[in-house]
Chain A
Amino acid sequence: MAQTISEKILSQHAGKPVKAGDIVIVRVDGVMATDATAPFAIKAFRQMSGKKLWDSGRVSLIIDHASPAPNETVANLHKLMRDFAAEMGCRLYDIGEGICHQLMVENAHVKPGDLFLGADSHTPTYGALNAFGIGVGSTDLAATMLTGKTWLKAPKTIKVTLNGAFRKNVGAKDVALFLIKQLGAEGANYQAVEFTGEAVTSMTLASRMALANMSSEMGAKAGLVDPTGLDLWYPFEPTFPDAGADYARELTFDVSALRPQIAKPYSPENVVSIDELKGTKIHYAFIGSCTNTRLEDLHAAAQVLKGKKLTNTRLIIAPASKKVFNDALKDGTIEILSEAGATFITSGCGPCVGSHLGVPGDGEVVITSTNRNFQGRMGNPKAQVFLSSPAVVAASALAGEIVEPE
């Protein structure tokens, strides 16, 4: 039986051949939950009469969504997580370590071929590693913390082939936004997406992560990137689809003419080319999130802002992790961005989810490198949020209006 990447990984974890549509119980290689989801997972775990984790070495808790604690309620939820981790002997990443998905990849808690459950909707990011990452809610996660297993329906797969080479200032984020527009916000609901083609296999790990991350905005259960060209610091066994595997849809695009893409309020599928938005006034710019604040993203921003001064707007940057921050510190990137006037905040989700650290004012227009612009997403339903690549965010912050980087 010719299999897709999903079918192969799920077969390995079900202990029997699996094809799309099958409902199977699978073993899970690792789980993680954040301060947005871990408290309910802990509550559910206790209600399930959980006394110990199925495998404490495979459980990670991350404090990243409202970090450091903005108020006493959140402080107590963080404390609950620290206490639980100490009691159960599992891993805890405390404030400032970084965003959950970045930490799981950076520290190799998730590896190629794994089936990983995250209590966060952007868990498909691990498809960049050729792993099957699924986002679940707190109760599902609690059940896996207890049993090491979950149940799921093996998804059909949409195969997306991206041919050609990107133009300057166009990359993973732009093509991801373009694809969300083509497929729609529910275009891949209940399905997996496989990304292949030379525009994909030539991508860095960071870019692959941005692409796989945005598959969540197509509704995908998992976004699996072709492992060809995947460069990791440890050896791994890649999982390729079989020739003749059965796909629900096959789409092919040439990226060579693609222009920078921007999603307008209030949906990541509301995407247009930058040309339609040039001149839109911007009040606030943010570079952050599990989509786009890795070293290459900070480099892209620094290239735009080197030797310049931000006078027209405010720019906030939340590096994806402490490691990213330290690497950018050592290579001079932080200095360039800080000299230009950018404000650095704690590595973590920052204003992405609207809990704290940079909520926009009424009527303000925000340009951000994040992945969602739902109404109220950054904490104020009366603000307008536009999504783009870090280079476009930096250039627009400098100009005070939407512009293309030179």
Chain B
Amino acid sequence: MEDSNTMTIIRADTAGIPHCAHNDKERELIHVDCASHIYPDGSVGIHDMCFYVQKNEIVALCGPNGSGKSTLIEHLNGLLTPSKGNIAVNGRSITTDEHTNLWREVGVVFQQSDDQLFAPTVLDDVMFGPLNLGLSLDAAKDSAMEALEAVGAADLVSKLPNYLSGGQKRLVSIAGILAMKPRIIALDEPTSDLDPVHSGMVEHLIYDLKERFGISVVIATHDLDLAARIADRICLVRQGSVFAEGAPAEIFYDEVLLRETGLKPPQIVQVYLAYCQMRGIVADYNPITIEETMEAIRRQ
């Protein structure tokens, strides 16, 4: 996140039409190009959605309930196909048939782990994806064990998913995706319903996915504190499209933008702004983590 203070905010124009940011095409893994999706009941899931993921980055999709975050994630994985617009992988637009193979590129960790863990044992569940990739039973087992070790859940291998705690279920869900070795992992509300300890473990794991495994991560979350701590880029989603995007340090200090999106700044930002107001100083630096905030206060 070294360049987090240098990225500029790109936002929808005055007519509300968003623009795809001029990202680095060399690093681009997947690009949702002005896609729209209308559900069979006529409700609009996303419209004119422009979104991309680059190599080795963590992108946070932040927005209120029903803003289209989950619908976008389902498009990334190929669970939904856009009614309008298209999706490009590695710079090439994919055909309708190829949508069904997007799961090989983008793994999704769903919000409710109980919906994801369906197999009789943890090992069976984590092996499910690798077997679908065409791996042999032994190779799938090895891949599953490797993934379980990576998330620190190797001791759960023969357990029944029913007897796992919420945090363990979330770790196993992530292992189930990691075992498939996708290039991007999208997590829908990864820390919801978790206690602080497990929440911290999942957060650390998300960071590890990028740093250790070189996997790009997309998180859809209401937890702006989490997004502030780990994301390289924030996309504010409102009414089915990306309303603005930029570095956390810029987005989370733009109170007007957050208010327009229906969000509140992360607590650390609120504390720092309150501190600056109390001391009567103008913040010339936008800290977004505890360490950065401590440093900013120390410098004053």
Q: Do A and B bind each other?
A: no
